[in-house]
Amino acid sequence: MKVGVVFGVSELANPQAFEKKASEFITNLAKEFDVVGGFFISTKKDFKEAKGEVNFNEVDAIVLYPLTGGTEGALKEFFVYRRPIVIYGDPFNNSLAAGIELREYFRERLVPSTLVKDFNELKAALLGYEDMRETLDKFLRMRIGLIGRVSPWLINEKFELPYTNISLKKFYEYYDATTEEEGWEAVEEIVGKAVEIKEPDREDIVKAGRIYVAIRRILEDYRLDGFTIGCFDLIGKIGSTPCLALAMFNAQGIPAACEGELNSLVGMMIVRRFFDKPAFMGNIADFGEDYIILAHCTAPLIGKYVIRSHFESGMGVGVDVQLPRGRASLLKIRGRKAVVAGVNVVDQEHSNFRCRTQVKLRVEDAMDFIDGTLGNHHLLVYVDSEVLADLLSELGFEVMLY
């Protein structure tokens, strides 16, 4: 197991006073693991220099040893590597105080982080991460992107994980580089399989196809595993929406969220990576004592579907998908917290005053769920709720299971 090691020393302290302690620590650790690094850092400048000497992306775990307090600002930078972290603290020089602060910083950003204070605990924590390597890598090495911006009405959206931001200007460059022929070719088969086409005409459908082609090229060029897009901004510029493109990507195995919401995207990616299932991202449109109705203008094309316009704007191409009935889960992630509920998909609805795909879920204690959930957008996923909750807990989420 390859382990990166970094020591933190306050700018107020003399590093030479800690050289013997650090040397003994490295010697002991190297008896059990393949150790790299061993730097003393006090500032962000020191962190940048350490980056140039060791590629911490290639280690299996990182050990941070704050030898003194006041080292949190420099050591927290190792969050960027998205590697499991063990923080070693001792009872002197405010080492443990710094360690506790660091542990919470990493956990808030969903980086597995453990605080230990003796060598046996350190060894056990590292071996535990080694046992979970495959599971953690699936999660920690996700490459996600935001095209455009987070929609301004998502007032609870807070996101601390690293992601690639592609501007709308860049998206329009990709879109303008597509042709009408490419757009039609991309969606021709999808259109042919539709049960019915209501509002959109051929021009609308071609635009939707060009959006799909543009995003597909962005995913390839930026090497993204999944993405979300600030979709409403497209309406004023090109008179269309990415609803159909998102429906296609989700059916093809590429997690795709709307409205620029990154938390929902993370949920979609977890469900796809660990269960190979798509997710329906929906608004809560109605609820009662034992039911919840979800609605949105995009949904994975995993059932019969009608091609429609986007509900709010009356433009673009949305979809009304007949999602399968049966047992499923409702998932909401926000930051480090997650709520999960077991549900039963019982019916479809077709109100003209809601987004196009409308699904009715039977939920035990629905009112309690609504009272305790973390915001609007929820994911409907065809996964057992207890299995999903257990996985999320393993990945570091604080989970409430209904």
Task: Give tens-digit pLDDT for 337-383.
Answer: 999 999 999 999 999 999 999 999 999 989 999 999 999 999 999 99
What residues does CATH 3.20.14 cover in the chain? 142-401
> Is the confidence at residue 36, as pLDDT, over 90?
yes
Q: Which long-range contacts (CB under 8 A, 24 or more apart) does 115-120 make?
A: 115/86, 115/87, 115/89, 116/86, 116/87, 116/88, 116/89, 117/88, 117/89, 117/90, 117/91, 119/28, 119/29
The 3-state DSSP class for residue 273 equals helix
pLDDT digits (tens, 9 = 90+) for 20-33: 999 999 999 999 99
> Is the confidence at residue 279, as pLDDT, over 90?
yes
- Tell me which architecture the domain covering 2-139 has in CATH: 3-Layer(aba) Sandwich (3.40)
Per-residue pLDDT, averaged over 51-74, amounts to 95
Nearest to 377 by CA among 315, 291, 289, 292: 292
Q: Is this structure's pTM higher than 0.75?
A: yes
The per-residue pLDDT for 52 is 87
Per-residue pLDDT, averaged over 181-196, amounts to 97
Reported confidence tier of residue 297, pLDDT bands at 50, 70, 90: very high
Contacts of 258 (CB under 8 A, 6+ apart): 228, 229, 231, 242, 243, 246, 281, 296, 298
Reported confidence tier of residue 246, pLDDT bands at 50, 70, 90: very high
What residues does CATH 3.40.50.10940 cover in the chain? 2-139
CATH of 142-401, one of 3.30.70, 3.30.1490, 1.10.10, 3.20.14: 3.20.14
